[in-house]
Structure 1
Amino acid sequence: MKAAQLTLLQKRLPESPGINGRDEYLNSVVLVLLILISGEYHFVFEQRSANIPQGGEICFPGGKFEEDKDLSREETAIRETTEEMGIPADKISIIGRLDSIVAPMGAIVDAFVGVADIDVHEIKANPNEVARVFTIPVDYFQKNEPETYFATVKVHPSYTDEQSGQEIITFPAEMLGLPERYSQPWGKLKYKILVYKTQEGIVWGITARFIYDVINKLSCKN
């Protein structure tokens, strides 16, 4: 590499680093939605309809970032909230964003925090995607710590085809002359899973992580 190329490299290094390999993940966006009820802010949750992926689970509104529809991830958050909860876009105010989550199941989730200027009874959920909408006071999560569990995450160089039962090798470590250990699942990442138990049901996983992030920011003394 010549000196001129070093200068070129320096110019092209990002001012704000992103995530290497982002395009290899499912990129989704959620809106951590707040609503004011009797002078107290509540989180607004939805329970997913039984006939869609992750049916029956509790989450915030959100979905896949679509370049042909959205100019930004903020637009994704608002669009999905409007589609799922029927809240007009002009009734949603974005106040900021949270740190993104890179989930081991192959998704990167970006999150915005927003406030809905609407009465909770005016929310008209899309029954094709949402079984019900409910709120829980932010104060509840400030007073109740989540339970913590762990899942072990490993890298698998092969998988078993469901139809044929044959092993499909996706990373030929032996053929590449790599150490034998890479021909078997490797790694032992302990992925933390947070669980909040509420009267409305279990709130866990990525949704719980975003809640925990908000609560930590509220409790920070600085």
Structure 2
Amino acid sequence: MLEEKLKQLKDKLVNKEQIIAKERKYFNSAVLIPLINIDGNYHLLFQRRAADITQPHEICFPGGRYEPDLDSNYQETATRETKEELGIAKENINFLGKLGTIVAPLGATIDAFVGEINISDLEQLELNYEEVVEVFTIPLEYFRDNEPQEYYVRIKMHPYEVDENGEKVTLLPAEDLDLPKKYSTPWHGKRHKLFVYSTQDGVIWGITAELITELVAQFE
């Protein structure tokens, strides 16, 4: 019996590539990195977020939260969100593959897919203006020729937070759990690298810029 259970475990671990506790621990999302052929050159399609949603006015790719009741996988999430935000139907997306997964330091995962968008003009798009105020393209070559600037932020683990009333709310009762004293106060101030591209259409940074740098690296 023990040997059978061990074999079952071994079979499950073969070529297992996934983020541990992904579904149970993280806010999971997916994005599409849209490529458009314009006059024989590939451009990246970007959208600018609306003013009344999270991260207002920032430049990003289409995407959003993985919904297990709607999506059987993360590519379907990217497809659904692209349709909802830009009006691009599934049959007009030629998926080239998955670029990879980012685990963001704020507790989110982003599965990124690359796809060619089969449209002849941006006027064909049907923007959801509650989420997107505009779209534009930038030649992929621009990002190959212009390396991003690199900056850092410092991230710490906080065992408590302060609510809107100024009251301290304990998240990790370190003393009650008899953990080492250092875990009762913020610890591990680590630097986290950020990429920033300055373009004529605005600053592209954070996760979007990180995805661009990874995409560009595939051509080296």
Q: Provide TM-score, normalisation by structure 1.
A: 0.93
Cα displacement string for residues 116-152 of structure 1 (whole angstroms, at most 9, x for unaligned residues) = 0102231221111100000000000011010000111
Equivalent position of 1:212 in the other structure: 213
Pick one of 120, 123, 132 that aligns with 1:121.
123
The alignment yields a C-alpha RMSD, in angstroms, of 1.5
Q: Which moved more, 1:199-208 or 1:119-128?
A: 119-128
Q: Which runs of 5+ in 1 are unaligned?
A: none
Query: Which residue identity is paired with 1:154?
Result: K
Q: Distance in 1 between matches of 2:17 and 2:155?
A: 26
Equivalent position of 2:141 in the other structure: 139
Equivalent position of 1:32 in the other structure: 33
Q: Provide TM-score, normalisation by structure 2.
A: 0.94
Q: Which runs of 5+ in 2 are unaligned?
A: none
Q: Does 1:193 align with 2:194?
A: yes
Cα displacement string for residues 143-180 of structure 1 (whole angstroms, at most 9, x for unaligned residues) = 101000011111111111212x2211111111222211
Equivalent position of 1:177 in the other structure: 178
Q: Distance in 2 between matches of 1:194 and 1:85?
A: 26
SS at structure 2 position matched to 1:97:
strand
Q: CA distance change for structure 1 residues 13 and 138 in 2, over 3 Å: closer, same or farther?
A: same
Cα displacement string for residues 11-37 of structure 1 (whole angstroms, at most 9, x for unaligned residues) = 443532311121211100000000011
Superposed displacement of residue 10, structure 1? 2.5
Cα displacement string for residues 38-75 of structure 1 (whole angstroms, at most 9, x for unaligned residues) = 11000000000101111100000001111111111111
Structure 2 counterparts to residues 87-126 of structure 1, below 5 A: 87-119=88-120, 120-126=122-128
Q: Distance in 2 between matches of 1:10 and 1:91?
A: 40
Q: Distance in 1 between matches of 2:77 and 2:136?
A: 22
Superposed displacement of residue 3, structure 1? 4.9
Q: Does 1:9 align with 2:9?
A: yes
Equivalent position of 1:84 in the other structure: 85
